[in-house]
Amino acid sequence: MGRRSQNIRKTPARPGPIPGQSQANPTAIDHLNPSNHQSSLFLFLQSNAALRVLQKTHTIRTVTFEHGCTAAIVFTCIGASYGTSKSGVGISAMGVLRPDLMMKCIIPVVMAGIIAIYGLVVSVLISGSLQSPMPLYQGFVQLGAGLSVGLAGLSAGFAIGIVGDAGVRGTAQQPRLFVGMVLILIFAEVLGLYGLIVALILNTRGSQHPPCRFGSPGNGSNVVAVNAIILGEVK
């Protein structure tokens, strides 16, 4: 009996099922369920050692956040240039018939140029607060501020250009249209002002919050770590 018991091989214990595996097919993993990701990146982030390293990281450096400064000045200048050129064509055509109204009908060009000032102000504010490394929250807020004033200024510039071109041509034939043209230009200009107000609020809020911190293991904060690796360099 002793020899037989020594010859019997011990059967190793089977490991438990991996989370996310199907009971019918143990080798298949449900990748459609976000809680059952078993890729190498997620397995690495599930380890305590990786999360301890990520928890010490308070800031993230990425080039994407600097695009807010670029978007603020580029989009507003595009809108201002379109409004200036479109209105200038109408003013030049109107000056042939009524040269005495040239200085009076130059208002669309002035209002189109103000839009670029909105983008310049926000761009200077954003560039003054850029740092390396930059907090994740502050970076996204500044990116949103630049896009807000940039796209709002772009739409306002298109509106001023179209209205100014048609308005000055009509004013040359009927001077009573001048007041109506100015009112329409004011409502078109205020679109860019809305974007400036939102951008200033966002830029102020971005500097009032601490950097984004990574959470502890098991509370679903690994998604933040994945976004950090995808969006920029963890430093």
Mean pLDDT in the chain? 75
Say what the pLDDT of residue 198 is.
Answer: 95
Reported as a single tens digit per residue, the pLDDT across 12-29 is 555 555 554 545 554 444
pLDDT-based confidence at 128, cuts 50/70/90? confident
User: What is the token pair recorded at 60?
Assistant: 């993230």
CATH architecture for residues 68-206: Up-down Bundle (1.20)
SS3 at position 127: helix
Asked whether the predicted pLDDT for residue 73 surpasses 90, the reply is yes
Q: What is the pLDDT of residue 90?
A: 92
- The two three-digit tokens of residue 8, written as one number: 């019997």
Q: How far is CA 204 from CA 23, 75, 76, 125, 211, in A?
A: 53, 21, 20, 10, 15
> The pTM is what?
0.64
β partners of residue 134:
60
Residue 94 CB contacts under 8 Å (≥ 6 apart), including other chains? 101, 102, 105, 168, 169, 171, 172
Inter-CA distances, 101 with 69, 114, 172, Å = 39, 22, 8
User: What is the DSSP secondary structure assignment for residue 134, as one 8-state letter?
Assistant: B
Please spell the DSSP secondary structure of 7-53, one letter per residue. HSPPPPPPPPPPTTB-SS-TT-B-TTSGGG--SHHHHHHHSHHHHHH
